[in-house]
Every structure is written in structure tokens, then in C-alpha cells.
């Protein structure tokens, strides 16, 4: 599927071709386990997702909060430091919007265990993690959808998209 998307992007200017995809959350989770095992990501140990309709995604992510604090001192509020240190898993639900080859998201809710985390704090952590990735993502503004895709959306347990 990824090769089809790459080929379609390369041929787009001379031979427009419609490309679409549908991935289940199980397929994405399998890929995430494989990808993180073969090419570890700074600050992220694991990611598990669950996809809901209307562009709602729930994630369970193991984050190295010591790295976050080392990269950007003062990120973790003093009140949360007793809990958010070392490698800890957090649950983050977000909603995304994707159209015209751009995607943006907003955090709906987030928890460490049963402790609700402020969305603004979680968005800041995500920005710091994203900036440290090899792709240097900037999640503070809409990001380009890869492979020349123009839109993406979710249904129950499935993310879909097309060009």
C-alpha cells in the first residue's frame, strides 16, 4: 500500500491516478510495534491506538518524561513531577481534521493513570516529542499529509483517506 501511494505521488503530474486507503487500528498497531522496534523514536517507547468515528483517536503511549524535561526544562509542572518521570504511559484522546493535504489535531482529554492531564500541557509535550523526531514535525500548525493524500477521516476502527 505504501508503495502504491509513493508511485501515485510520483506519477501525479503526468498521469493522475486516484489512490485511496483504509487501515484498521489493528493494522496500525502492528505497524507501530514493528516500526518502533526497527527504528526507535526519541522519547517514545510504544504506541497503541483505537480509532473511533468522526476523526476521534484514542492513544496509549509510553513516554520518557525524563527526556522531555532534559530537552525542554520546566515542561513538566512541579505538581506533576512526582508522577511524570522516567518512562510512563499516558492515555490521550484527540480529534483531527484533514483536508486539502493538511492535518491538524486537538487534544480532547488526557490521563496519567486516573489523573486528568491539562490539554495544553499534553499538546506541549507532543510538540516537544514531535520536534525531536527525525522528521522534525511542528504540531503547532497544520502538517502536510504524506504521499500526496488530500484528505483523511475515520470510521469505527478504520482510518481512510484519498488523493
Shortest CA distance to 123 belongs to which of 136, 135, 138? 138
Q: Return mean pLDDT, the chain.
A: 91
| Residue 80 pLDDT > 70 | yes
What share of the chain in percent tops pLDDT 70? 90
Domain that holds residue 96: 2-162
Long-range contacts of residues 5-14, Cβ cutoff 8 Å, at least 24 apart: 5/146, 5/147, 5/148, 5/149, 6/147, 8/147, 8/148, 8/163, 9/147, 9/148, 9/163, 12/148, 12/163
| Residue 13 pLDDT > 70 | no
What's the pLDDT at 5?
A: 57
Q: Which residue has the higher pLDDT, 58 or 13?
A: 58
What's the pLDDT at 4?
A: 60
**Mean pLDDT over residues 10-28, rounded?**
76
Report pLDDT digits (tens) over 115-125: 999 999 999 99
Number of domains in the chain: 1
- Give strand pairing partners of 4: none
| Residue 33 pLDDT > 90 | yes
Amino acid at each position: 500500500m505504501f508503495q502504491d501511494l509513493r508511485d501515485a505521488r510520483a506519477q501525479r503530474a503526468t498521469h493522475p491516478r486516484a489512490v485511496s486507503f483504509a487501515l484498521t487500528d489493528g493494522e496500525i498497531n502492528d505497524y507501530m510495534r514493528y516500526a518502533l522496534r526497527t527504528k526507535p523514536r526519541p522519547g517514545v517507547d510504544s504506541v497503541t491506538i483505537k480509532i473511533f468515528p468522526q476523526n476521534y483517536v484514542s492513544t496509549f503511549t509510553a513516554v520518557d518524561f525524563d527526556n522531555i524535561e532534559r530537552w525542554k526544562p520546566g515542561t513538566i509542572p512541579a505538581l506533576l513531577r512526582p508522577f511524570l518521570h522516567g518512562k510512563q504511559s499516558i492515555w490521550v484522546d484527540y480529534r483531527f481534521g484533514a483536508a486539502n493535504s493538511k492535518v491538524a489535531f486537538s487534544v480532547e482529554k488526557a490521563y496519567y493513570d486516573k489523573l486528568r492531564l491539562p490539554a495544553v500541557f499534553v499538546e506541549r509535550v507532543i510538540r516537544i516529542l514531535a520536534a525531536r523526531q527525525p522528521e522534525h514535525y511542528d504540531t503547532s500548525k497544520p502538517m502536510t499529509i504524506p504521499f500526496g493524500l488530500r484528505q483523511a477521516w475515520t470510521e469505527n476502527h478504520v482510518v481512510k483517506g484519498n488523493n
